[in-house]
Structure 1
Amino acid sequence: MKLTAWLQDRRTQKFRDVLSRWNGGDLSMMEAGELLGMSERHSGATATVTKRPGKVVDHRLGKISTRRVPAEAIEEMLELYRHRYLGWNVKHFHEHLLRDHDFSWGYTFISTQLHAAGLVERAKRRGAHRRKRERKPCEGMMLH
């Protein structure tokens, strides 16, 4: 069983339990919403809209996000880096993509894609110079 399906089953069981307690009068809609992690209004709408005969369905599962970047556009961006901007750091490459090539993605997304493709190396860890030190046993021991 996939993780998303398992999580959906768990959410469905919890929703059914809370819904039955609400129908029985043990919970108010506000308490039911708090248990489900949503507002009172949203829990009421969910109870009436998504309730089917014997089944509660989350319609968001299995759908591709509307904000997802197309694979062709990612390939175009990687080809630009490989053939025109090779050796540039991510910050300068991101600025040129926004200005010259009408891309509108964030810096973090572009950086992640370049790292995943192996075109840019991750920054090395910094040395121990700025790391936190252990506290001294008595107050004022490190004062100059």
Structure 2
Amino acid sequence: MMHKELLRSLFFVLIVGSMTVSMQSTKELSNRVPLKRTTPKPGFIKTVFQAAYEQWTDTRDTLNKINKMLNDNFIPESAVSSTTVASTDNSDPNATTTRAPYRITRNEFSRILRRNVNGLVRLFNLELADALKESRATDREFRKNATREFSKFL
């Protein structure tokens, strides 16, 4: 009989103990802040290609903006007409008129660019000829000095 009492009290202690442990663990779980998932860092290759892609899109967008600005500032060849002077009645002395901004045609722009490039080519050729002339003079002087110095040892 004593063994039965001892077993009952042992089971009772085990049941009460397990219940208190389970209640404490549920409290800990409810108080715990959920862990944030860490996103994996991109690898080296992905980083390189991502940078290259961003550079490409930036370059493309910039070139598109430049192209749009240039196209907006040119007038079509068909819109060019002879300039006519319109007579206006100056009844109001305080009236002011504003002119539209000066815009050129593509042919005129090409002519200006061609003239500038030809000027730059001429300047480059002059500078190159001058540099080659100086180089020849320096080479002659170097050879003369080298011959003089080497002749001391012969």
| TM class, shorter-length | under 0.3
More helix, by proportion: 2
TM-score after normalising by structure 1: 0.23
Higher RCO (CA 8 Å, separation ≥ 6 residues) = 2
Higher CA-based Rg = 2
